[in-house]
Structure 1
Amino acid sequence: MEIIIIILAGILVGASVYLMLSKSVIRIVVGTNILTHAILLMVLSMGQLKRGSIPVLEDGVESYADPLPQAMLLTVIVISFALTAYMLVVAIRTYKELGTDNVEEMKGVPEDD
């Protein structure tokens, strides 16, 4: 099961890099969001997908689920939401100011003939 999640995370990283290298600001924002999901899957797979009881010391329980990857996932989710919201606000503001979402037109780079 972990190998499938690792492969899926690799595919998501590839798709996100492709989107982040494009010229459209919205595609860059979506690529960053997909990269965040890939990182979530990587952290989840590094925490070893195992079943166990809640991490409370009780008699008779032998296997516990590690709470650290779950806490890190929640942190990554909150940070990625804030980053996505900020990037969307900046993208909307630059579109209103400059009238384009093309990164090269924002820089003033002339197009090739």
Structure 2
Amino acid sequence: MNILNLLLDHINYIGAVALFIIGLHTVVTHRNLIKRILGVNIMGTSVFLFFIAIGNVALGQPPIIIETGENVIYINPLPSVLILTGIVVVVSMTVYSLSLIIRIYQTYGTIDQEEIVRIQNEENTYD
């Protein structure tokens, strides 16, 4: 029963690690470039979940100062602020990567990585 309570207490961390492993597996095992970008986005989402889980405090209140005489425990707002920056970076990287994939498709006619390498090797042997 102690292990079950430990798992339930850290379910957010376990979820973040599981999402990261799913994203990493997608990046490593798929040849399709769009699927690889989706894997990177899943990994980014897992990092966001991890940072939000770090900022959570049991029985914590939002960091809004209210004039009360009691001691209030506040949730740390810094991870949430960092997540906003991270979202902008991941979205920008995704848009740039998708634009590169469009250009790769226009050049090679495929988005399969092994096919692109094969085409490049054929071009290099004719030079």
The residue type paired with residue 18 of structure 1 is H
2:63 paired residue among 54, 70, 73: 54
Relative distance call for 1:39 and 1:13 in structure 2 (3 A) is same
Query: Deviations for 1:45-67, whole angstroms, at most 9, x for unmatched residues?
Result: 12234431425484536222212
What is residue 85 of structure 1 aligned with on the other side?
95
2:77 paired residue among 49, 53, 67: 67
Confirm or deny that 1:18 pairs with 2:22.
Answer: no
Contact 1:95 1:101 in 2 (8 A): yes
- Worse-superposed segment, 47-56 or 36-45: 47-56
The residue type paired with residue 98 of structure 1 is Y
What is residue 111 of structure 2 aligned with on the other side?
101
Structure with higher Rg: it is 2
Structure 2 unaligned segments of length 5 or more: list them: 1-7, 123-127
- How far does residue 23 in structure 1 lie from its aligned partner after superposition? 0.8
Q: Which has the higher contact order (CA 8 A, sep 6+)?
A: 1
Contact 1:55 1:65 in 2 (8 A): no
Task: With the length of structure 2 as denominator, give the TM-score of the two structures.
Answer: 0.75
| Percentage of pairs with the same residue | 27
Query: Deviations for 1:70-94, whole angstroms, at most 9, x for unmatched residues?
Result: 1011111111111111111111110
2:42 paired residue among 23, 34, 38: 34
Flag the structure with higher helix content. Answer: 2
Q: CA RMSD in A?
A: 2.0
Matched residues, number: 110
